[in-house]
Amino acid sequence: MTEAVFPEWRDKPLDEVLYECRELLEDTSFPTVRRWREAGGKVVGHFQVYFPEEIAHAAGMLPFKVRGAPVEATEADSRFGSYLCSILKTSLELALSNRVTLDMFVTHPICDAARNLAAVWGRNFEYPCQILYLPQNANSQHAATYLRGEYDRVRRGIEAIAGCAVTDEALRRSIGVFNENRALLRTLYRIKRETPWLVSAEDAYVLLALGGIIPREEHNELLRFTLPLIEQRTAKRQDRVRVVLEGAFCEQPPLDLIRAIGRSCYIVDDDLLIGLRWILDDVPPAGDPLKSLAEAYLECSTHSPVQHDLRKPKHEMLLARLANANADAAVVMAAKMCEPGLEEQVAYTQALDQESIPYFVSEFEENMTSFDHLEIQLETFIENLLFD
């Protein structure tokens, strides 16, 4: 694919680039996916959170992060029961309403609802819809070998759709592209941590999120252009509370909510779209690429409520995230009806209580449109901290 699917930002000053990025992210017709397909490309839709996108990339396909959208689940509603998170419904809605067209769909056993998606999706579409069984026993000595085999199964499935072999060499090239992407995103998060006044919460989020809907080469180009300009900004530091936002690993809060939180405080770290940056370091480009990717999932990945690893108790990881970001407080959120997120809230708040770290607890939904009440509560929380 040589044509850029997101050319609108080019040759523009930083503020206009960020404006174009926001416009694209909020466009629920997903024009970049449409353009990719119009140019003859194929698309693998992968539901949150963990997916080895390198495999799809190496096949020349677009890995599209399926993460719902703020749309009405007009058609999808009748496929689900009442007590369910929004992201499941709106994700299916995107496909049923032809906002996005896929050639393959992959979900994961990150939660009981998400695992059901392969069956639901498969009953509604002709293309392969499957579960990638990531190892839930990350502490087994046999997990890496198993996962390498499971990734190989996914590779074979993708090859059948792409109509070409996914060679180790192609995988190594893709790992290189994604390593650069991970490094750029680490820079973005360093800016958030060290100089949060240089980039607003919503702009940082938008720059991150576009990685899920455009080719990684384009995303790298965008980040290579914007990050130095952001660092050159001369914005003044304000006396704001530094917070870590936790609880957005799957369903995403609406951009307006991120903006609202960012108005009250500096979000110096978060788990927003953690699935776009779950591998914490470079994946070795040499050797067996599938083995390297499998080991990266097990040995070099961040935490989330949907990855069980005895070495990574989530509440301790949150405390570490707060400490690393030199944060004053935590905003502990959970998507409505999100079982793992809501369960983890208890562990998080107990750990925060124990460490006497202030926190703000709330629920959200991707479709929510009114934030006044939440914003007032958050402002009160922040004021209490500032004047304590």
Ramachandran assignment for 47, one of left (phi > 0), alpha (psi -120 to 50 degrees), beta (any other): beta
Which span sits near another protein by CB under 8 A: 2-10, 192-200, 280-288, 342-350? Answer: 342-350
Distance CA 58, CA 55 (A): 5
Beta strands 129-131 and 265-270 are unpaired
Taking CA atoms, 18 is separated from 9, 24, 177, 214, 219, in Å, by 8, 10, 23, 15, 13
Cβ 144 to another protein shortest distance, Å: 10
Residue 125 sits at φ, ψ, to 5 deg, of -135, 155
| Closer by beta carbon to another protein, 75 or else 180 | 75
SS3 279: strand
Which span sits near another protein by CB under 8 A: 59-67, 173-181, 227-235, 302-310? Answer: 302-310
Q: Is 313 in the site for another protein (CB under 8 A)?
A: yes
39 burial type by CB count under 10 A (0-12 exposed, 13-18 middle, 19+ buried): exposed
Q: Binding string, 348-377, against another protein, x = CB under 8 A?
A: -xx---------------------------
Cβ 254 to another protein shortest distance, Å: 20
Residues in the chain: 388
Which span sits near another protein by CB under 8 A: 12-20, 126-134, 171-179, 374-382? Answer: 126-134
Q: How many CB atoms lie within 10 A of CB 57?
A: 24
Q: Is 254 in the site for another protein (CB under 8 A)?
A: no
> What are the residues whose beta carbons fall under 8 Å from the beta carbon of 162, sequence distance 6 or more?
42, 59, 60, 61
CA 363 to chain centre: 18
Cβ 4 to another protein shortest distance, Å: 34
Distance CA 38, CA 272 (A): 30
Q: Is 80 in the site for another protein (CB under 8 A)?
A: yes
Beta strands 359-364 and 329-335 are parallel
Q: What is the CA radius of gyration of the chain?
A: 20
Which span sits near another protein by CB under 8 A: 64-72, 127-135, 238-246, 283-291? Answer: 127-135
| Closer by beta carbon to another protein, 149 or else 228 | 149
Percentages helix, strand, coil for the chain, rounded to the nearest 5? 50, 10, 40
Which span sits near another protein by CB under 8 A: 11-19, 149-157, 203-211, 241-249? Answer: 149-157
Q: Which of 2, 141, 238, 369 binds another protein (CB under 8 A)?
A: 141
Q: Give the HSE-up count for residue 231: Cα atoms under 13 Å, Cβ half-sphere.
A: 14
Q: Is 342 in the site for another protein (CB under 8 A)?
A: yes
Q: Is 142 in the site for another protein (CB under 8 A)?
A: yes
Q: Which of 345, 360, 364, 365 binds another protein (CB under 8 A)?
A: 345
Q: Is 308 in the site for another protein (CB under 8 A)?
A: yes
Q: Binding string, 85-124, against another protein, x = CB under 8 A?
A: ---x--------------------xxxxx-xxxxxx-xxx
Number of residues that bind another protein (CB under 8 A): 60
**342: its two tokens:** 């809501």
**137: its two tokens:** 């026993």
Q: Which of 1, 4, 131, 229 binds another protein (CB under 8 A)?
A: 131
**88: its two tokens:** 């499941």
Cβ 265 to another protein shortest distance, Å: 24
For another protein, the binding residues (CB under 8 A) are 78-84, 88, 109-113, 115-120, 122-124, 128-133, 135-137, 140-143, 145-146, 149-150, 153, 305-306, 308, 310, 313-315, 334, 336-337, 339-340, 342-347, 349-350
